[in-house]
A and B are shown apart, each in its own frame.
Chain A
Amino acid sequence: RPKGYYFLRVRKFKLFMGLFHYDDDHRIWKDFNLKNFWRNEKEFLINSNAFFSVKKTGTTICGITFKHGILLASDTRATNGEIICDTNCEKIHFIAPNICCCGAGTSADTENITKILSNQLELQRISSGKETSVQMAVSISQKILFIHKGFLSAAMIFGGFDFLGSNLFCVHPHGSSEKIPFISMGSGSLAAMAILENNYKNDLGLKKAVLIIQEAVKAGIYNDTGSGGSVDLCILTRKKIRIIRNKIFSEIPKFKQNFNF
């Protein structure tokens, strides 16, 4: 056989697998380019803290059950180390027509997990024809988080109304879940938990529950540097869900400020 035969076969197989890329400068097909390996090693040794700067959301998120369903609330600040990159970001994600989720931790992780979840559950709904239960969403996210051994720092609160009634679950980054009547998570969880413990009762009405959860998130905003901005709210009942964006709106600083010196 000709000498170049095996190279051709290997090259076609690798193309098929997507392992080759076309180098525009040299106009040839190239394999892996590993020249940044040494740069990464040096950077990591010099300054390991500032190596990966991820967009982290130090947050306050709360969930509470009341008579007719579930309330979820969150603050709206996204931080990147010490800088605030977004004063009005959305932490309440939509997963199914009867399930909503709040996410704390690294925002990339929470957003991607919720996207994967909502797509998978939509396909299951189409094939089975029934509405999803909250336990199913929780179990799938638990599996994803456990497989990654806690490196996906995503703490989430799932709330929804399904055929079993109203359910509130919390999922921790290592992959453990719990079913509880009220919970707060994130960096401002201690302050919010204090307010919830003080005021929570069984069978609250809607107005009282909204007041309590607003106070809890406000406490998190005031007493924690990682939380701030406005308060988002989500009401989940049997008939519908209602996401209220910026229930308590805090002013965004204007770009132009007229100074008179």
Chain B
Amino acid sequence: MQKNEISIGTTVVAIEIQDGVMIGTDSQTSSGPLVSNKISDKISYLTRSIVCCRSGSAAQTQNTIDNLRSLVLTNLFERKFPLKVQHLAQIFREYCYRENAVNSGFICSGWDCFHGGQIYSITQGGYIFNQSIILMGSGSIFIQGFCDANYRLKMSELESKNFLTKALSLAILRDGSSGGFIRLAKITKKGIERLVLNPIKPFYKIEVQQIPKFILV
């Protein structure tokens, strides 16, 4: 990346829940040591029930998403039926590989009527893989252990919300390039619902030592 380019050093966690998919991100973009935007939205919509999370260089990811939206529209006009998440992820991957999108990572997730909620991660260079929990970004390394220990398959909505807020608060606590507040998105059969939350503050107990009354010199 060039000097002082806007980067989305971030934390993104995407998990599959009972009815669909739930995604959580932080909200900070930085340019070198400075924060350029602390209320940014890293979740961008592709169709009515498919969503994409961006990380890496802001300019390149925004440009690829603009080009992809036009590809998605041509596809929809031809087939006149909602796109499968798998199909969209493959279009993503082909585009990233051909155009050599350096410094950009995506998570393409959504709900479709064939396989329910799915998450696909497209890494730098165009490698695609599918899992039920995906972590992405510079702050994700700090919460790998936490997610491995606490994630269970097919959690309910409330449990997954708690899990995501805890995980993102821990990452925001320890990572310099993630910050701001937490943005959640839930994608189900009904569509996309958005939420904004404050991160939970550190929860250590700080014990204050009492000053003794007598100080022996």
Hey, which bits of chain A sit against chain B, CB under 8 A?
Answer: 139, 142-143, 145-146, 150, 172, 174-178, 180, 190
Contacts and interface: CB of A to CB of B under 8 A. Distances in A.
Which of B29, B36, B60, B66 has the most chain A CB atoms closer than 10 A to its own CB? B36
B36 A172 contact: yes
Contacts of B37: 178, 180
A174 B59 contact: yes
B159 interface: no
B36 A146 contact: no
B66 A174 contact: no
A132 to B, nearest CB: 18
B2 A176 contact: no
A92 B6 CA distance: 24
A216 to B, nearest CB: 17
Interface in B38-94: 39-40, 57-60, 62-63, 66
Determine chain B's interface SS by DSSP, over half rule: mixed
A155 to B, nearest CB: 10
A172 B66 contact: no
A122 B31 CA distance: 34
Contact of B62 (A142, A150, A180, A190): A142
B96 to A, nearest CB: 16
Contact of A150 (B2, B39, B40): B2
Nearest to A177: B62
Interface of B: 2, 5-6, 29, 31, 34, 36-37, 39-40, 57-60, 62-63, 66
A172 B59 contact: yes
Contact of B40 (A139, A178, A190): A178
Contacts of B34: 190
B65 to A, nearest CB: 11
Given A150-B2, A180-B37, A180-B39, A175 B59 contact: yes
Contacts of A177: 62
Contacts of A176: 6, 57-59, 62
A150 B66 contact: no
Given A142-B63, A150-B5, A172-B59, 19 more contacts: A139-B66, A142-B62, A146-B63, A150-B2, A150-B59, A172-B5, A172-B31, A172-B36, A172-B58, A175-B62, A175-B63, A176-B6, A176-B57, A176-B58, A176-B59, A176-B62, A177-B62, A178-B37, A190-B34
B129 to A, nearest CB: 27
A180 B63 CA distance: 19
Contacts of A146: 59-60, 63
A188 to B, nearest CB: 13
Which of B2, B39, B63 has the most chain A CB atoms closer than 10 A to its own CB? B63
Nearest to A185: B36
Nearest to B37: A178
